[in-house]
Amino acid sequence: MEYRASHILVKDKNLAMKIAKEAKGGANFGQLARRYSTCPSKSKGGDLGWFKPGQMVAPFENAVKKMAYGRISDPVRTQFGYHIIKKTGMKD
């Protein structure tokens, strides 16, 4: 199984919750990523491309596995900070 996702990475939990609320409310995810994310993927609207199991840190990967296509997560904490994730693909 392979997955594709976009994310917004921030250090502050309260900011992550605010961004997740905006994204779930219909704000453009790519624009939010460009504005807020601290990850270099922000230049691509947060797109991380395709990845296989074991390529991402466990909390991030586990969240993506459980999500339905097109859904946006609540903030997911990893050693890098707080991620708001949008699942954009899945294939065998």
Domains defined for the chain, CATH in brackets: 2-91 (3.10.50.40)
pLDDT in tens, 62-90: 999 999 999 999 999 999 999 999 999 99
Category of 44 on φ-ψ map: left (φ > 0), alpha (ψ -120 to 50) or beta: alpha
What global pTM score does this model have?
Answer: 0.95
Q: What is the mean pLDDT of residues 22-37?
A: 98
> How many C-beta atoms surround the C-beta of residue 67 within 10 A?
17
HSE, side-chain direction, 13 A CA sphere, residue 5: 27
Picking from 60, 68, 62, 55, the residue whose alpha carbon sits closest to that of residue 84 is 60
